[in-house]
Structure 1
Amino acid sequence: MKKIVFTGGGTAGHVTPNLAIINEIRGGDFQIDYIGSRNGIEKELAEKAGISYHSISSGKLRRYIDFENVKDIFRVMKGCVDARRVLKKLKPDLVFSKGGFVSVPVIVAASTLKIPIYIHESDLTPGLANKISQRFATKIFTSFDETKKYLPEAKTEAIGSPIRKEILSGSRERGRKWLEFHSQLPVLLIMGGSLGARKINEAVRDNIDELTKRYQIVHLCGKNNLDESLLNKSGYKQFEYVHEELADILATTDLVITRGGSNAIFEFLALEIPMVIIPLSKAQSRGDQILNAKSFQSKGYSLTLEEEDLTKESLLEHLEMISQKEMLMKEKMRSGNQTDALQKLVDEIRAI
């Protein structure tokens, strides 16, 4: 039986691709374990999926000066010791990482034990964790072709993003029925990330009367972000989040407003849904979503609206532009030569 250890966390974007791979290989001749932080989202998601989970100490990798950085050096060192102890017990054939600060101690520990290490980088430029980890990796896979120039050429391959198979199996008919939508107006999906996006939520709700004249709206607004005054608004359905219904909602979606997280936009690409991407600003992030959005726009898959430029008027303008370009965008997506990244990674793991 082959033993595979997965790691990655801090955000859902570092976990869901791992779960997509795990769902393809679990059972049969694979023993699967997950190493993550004690309180991160990866612990909740892995345990919910029934995966054997091992907690380690972890610090946060900051790009700015902070006294906590000193404490976190010791947390990371302890994390290396914790991870080495777990790996010596499990004796895996491979460690697979999706990044995030918790992955660094695991990768360092695996390298000291001569365990092969595979890394997948989602964003156009590598995050700090993967910048540190790249030197220890056996192979590195990327979502964007442009990312290869930032990583060791000899061991890096651009393959796209591993897409969850379940999102490809939705039913437009079931989605419309569940949402109680009709077929006379297109469906607009708004997703601001797992926690929602306050400014996007506000721009949508400030425009709600005008928007519902043109679209039927599904608004995934994030935890504690429901607007009770709009619960009975015709043509507008809001949810904190959805689970099993997501595939059917995506199947009935015609246009989407989204953040610029790599996993999300590659899923919309696979489903051929034209996008208005509103990336996190540099004040809120390292700017990776801005680069992701620019890459997709340059390929004709989306339009970009910077958060600093987001107003009631600019939101309507971009939706009008994307409606005019919808068929061209779908054609660009269809002819984009996207590879099956999930199957590629499964094949690479099976070859260990």
Structure 2
Amino acid sequence: MKKIVLTGGGTAGHVTPNLALIPKLKEMNWDIHYIGSKAGIEKVLIEEANIPYYPISSGKLRRYFDIKNFQDPFKVLKGIADAYLILKKLKPDVIFSKGGFVSVPVVIAGKLNKIPVFIHESDYSPGLANKIAVRFATKMFVTFEEAKAYLPKEKVVVTGSPIREELLNGSRKRGLTYLNFTETKPVITIMGGSLGSVKLNTIIRENLDTLLKNYQIVHLCGKGNFDETLMNKCGYKQFEYISRELPDIAAATDLVVSRAGSNSIFEWLELKKPMLLIPLSKAASRGDQILNANSFEKQGFATVLEEEELTNASFLQSIDELNRNKQKYIDTMRTNAPSNGLKTILDELERAND
């Protein structure tokens, strides 16, 4: 039996591709283990999947000044030592990393243990963690063809994004029943990432009464952002996070309003759901979501509203335009969407020690 260690965390985007791989790895009779942080979202998600979980010390890789920047290198060094001992004991055949700051010590420890390390980069351009980790990796899988320009060509394999199979098996009828929605109005699912988005949450709630005249709203508001005053609003359902019910809710969804994190937008693309993307601005990020969103818009998969242009009027207008043109987006996605990257990644992992 082959053994694999998965790693990645910090946000759900650094875990969901691993969750896509786990059921298939189980089918292929792999022995699966996970190394993550002590308190990140990955711990909850992986333990729910009944995978052995090993927490390590981890520091955050920041691009800005913070007093913790002086402490975190020591946490990273401890994390490398923690991961080294875990890997020495487990002796896996391969490591698969989805990125995030917790993955860097694992990738380095994997290299020190002479274990093949495979990394997946979801975004158009690599994040800081993966820029560091690629030096120690055997190969790096990328979602966007354009990402090759930022990475060592000899290590890059374009695979696309691994999509969770259970998402493809949802029931619209079950979703509408669970939400207590009807077929009379389109369903918009609005999400700002696993941690939520203050900007999106605010503009949704400011315009909720107007939106509900023509649409039904599923609002994934992020942890700690639930508004109890809106609990009984007809045609509106809010959740901090959805797991088990997501396939059915996705099947019931007609339109999507989202940030432009790569994993989530590729999942909506696989489901052929027209998207209004509102990427995180450069003022609050490295600009990766803007590149992701612009790529989707150029390919005809989505329309984009920049955060700097986000007003009540532009928001409502963009949603109405998306609804009017939704069939055009669906047709384009059916014709030009890339294939699910799951099989390609699994094939590469199988060949790791050949």
Q: TM-score range by the shorter chain?
A: over 0.9
Displacement after TM superposition at 1:342 (Å):
1.0
User: Which residue of 2 is the match for residue 205 of structure 1?
Assistant: 205
In the alignment, the residues of structure 2 paired with residue 241 and residue 41 of structure 1 have an alpha-carbon distance, to the nearest angstrom, of: 11
Contact 2:270 2:340 in 1 (8 A): no
Any residues of structure 2 matched to 1:185-224 within 5 Å, and which? 185-224=185-224
User: Which residue of 1 is the match for residue 37 of structure 2?
Assistant: 37
User: Which residue of 1 is the match for residue 184 of structure 2?
Assistant: 184
Any residues of structure 2 matched to 1:195-344 within 5 Å, and which? 195-344=195-344
TM-score normalised by L of structure 2: 0.95
Deviation per CA, 1:109-141: give whole Å up to 9, x if none.
111221111110011110111101112211111
In the alignment, the residues of structure 1 paired with residue 42 and residue 142 of structure 2 have an alpha-carbon distance, to the nearest angstrom, of: 21
1:112 aligned onto 2:112? yes
In the alignment, the residues of structure 2 paired with residue 138 and residue 202 of structure 1 have an alpha-carbon distance, to the nearest angstrom, of: 44
Deviates more, 1:268-277 or 1:22-31: 22-31
Q: Secondary structure at the match of 1:118?
A: strand
In the alignment, the residues of structure 1 paired with residue 224 and residue 78 of structure 2 have an alpha-carbon distance, to the nearest angstrom, of: 35
In the alignment, the residues of structure 2 paired with residue 219 and residue 135 of structure 1 have an alpha-carbon distance, to the nearest angstrom, of: 40
Give the root-mean-square deviation of aligned CA atoms.
1.5
Displacement after TM superposition at 1:270 (Å):
0.3
Equivalent AA in structure 2 for residue 254 of structure 1: D
Displacement after TM superposition at 1:226 (Å):
2.9
Displacement after TM superposition at 1:28 (Å):
5.9
Q: Secondary structure at the match of 1:119?
A: strand
Deviation per CA, 1:41-88: give whole Å up to 9, x if none.
222222221111112221111112333222222221121111111111
Q: Secondary structure at the match of 2:283?
A: coil
In the alignment, the residues of structure 2 paired with residue 226 and residue 69 of structure 1 have an alpha-carbon distance, to the nearest angstrom, of: 32
Displacement after TM superposition at 1:340 (Å):
2.1
User: Which residue of 2 is the match for residue 4 of structure 1?
Assistant: 4
In the alignment, the residues of structure 2 paired with residue 216 and residue 48 of structure 1 have an alpha-carbon distance, to the nearest angstrom, of: 30
Deviation per CA, 1:262-300: give whole Å up to 9, x if none.
111000000000111111122222211111111111111
In the alignment, the residues of structure 2 paired with residue 231 and residue 136 of structure 1 have an alpha-carbon distance, to the nearest angstrom, of: 49
**Distance 1:267-1:337 versus aligned 2 partners, 3 A rule:** closer
Displacement after TM superposition at 1:341 (Å):
0.5
Deviates more, 1:147-156 or 1:233-242: 233-242
Q: Secondary structure at the match of 1:195?
A: coil
Deviation per CA, 1:283-318: give whole Å up to 9, x if none.
222211111111111111111112222221111111
In the alignment, the residues of structure 2 paired with residue 129 and residue 173 of structure 1 have an alpha-carbon distance, to the nearest angstrom, of: 41
**Distance 1:101-1:228 versus aligned 2 partners, 3 A rule:** closer
In the alignment, the residues of structure 2 paired with residue 281 and residue 2 of structure 1 have an alpha-carbon distance, to the nearest angstrom, of: 42
User: Which residue of 2 is the match for residue 15 of structure 1?
Assistant: 15
**Distance 1:42-1:237 versus aligned 2 partners, 3 A rule:** closer
Equivalent AA in structure 1 for residue 217 of structure 2: I
Q: Secondary structure at the match of 1:183?
A: coil
Equivalent AA in structure 1 for residue 112 of structure 2: T
Any residues of structure 2 matched to 1:15-164 within 5 Å, and which? 15-26=15-26, 29-164=29-164
Q: Secondary structure at the match of 1:238?
A: strand
TM-score normalised by L of structure 1: 0.96
In the alignment, the residues of structure 2 paired with residue 43 and residue 178 of structure 1 have an alpha-carbon distance, to the nearest angstrom, of: 27
Deviation per CA, 1:10-53: give whole Å up to 9, x if none.
11111111121012112663211111122222222222211111
Equivalent AA in structure 2 for residue 234 of structure 1: C
Structure 2 unaligned spans of 5+? none
Deviation per CA, 1:191-219: give whole Å up to 9, x if none.
12123222212212221222111111111
Count matched residues: 352
Deviation per CA, 1:129-175: give whole Å up to 9, x if none.
11011122111111111111111112212221111111110111111
In the alignment, the residues of structure 2 paired with residue 60 and residue 239 of structure 1 have an alpha-carbon distance, to the nearest angstrom, of: 28
In the alignment, the residues of structure 2 paired with residue 45 and residue 58 of structure 1 have an alpha-carbon distance, to the nearest angstrom, of: 18
Runs of 4+ in 1 over 6 A off after TM superposition: none
In the alignment, the residues of structure 1 paired with residue 40 and residue 222 of structure 2 have an alpha-carbon distance, to the nearest angstrom, of: 18
**Distance 1:109-1:98 versus aligned 2 partners, 3 A rule:** same
Q: Secondary structure at the match of 1:249?
A: helix
In the alignment, the residues of structure 1 paired with residue 201 and residue 315 of structure 2 have an alpha-carbon distance, to the nearest angstrom, of: 11
Q: Secondary structure at the match of 2:66?
A: coil
**Identity of matched residues, %:** 57
Equivalent AA in structure 2 for residue 284 of structure 1: A
Structure 1 unaligned spans of 5+? none
Q: Secondary structure at the match of 1:237?
A: strand
Equivalent AA in structure 2 for residue 87 of structure 1: L
In the alignment, the residues of structure 2 paired with residue 198 and residue 64 of structure 1 have an alpha-carbon distance, to the nearest angstrom, of: 21
In the alignment, the residues of structure 2 paired with residue 337 and residue 188 of structure 1 have an alpha-carbon distance, to the nearest angstrom, of: 21
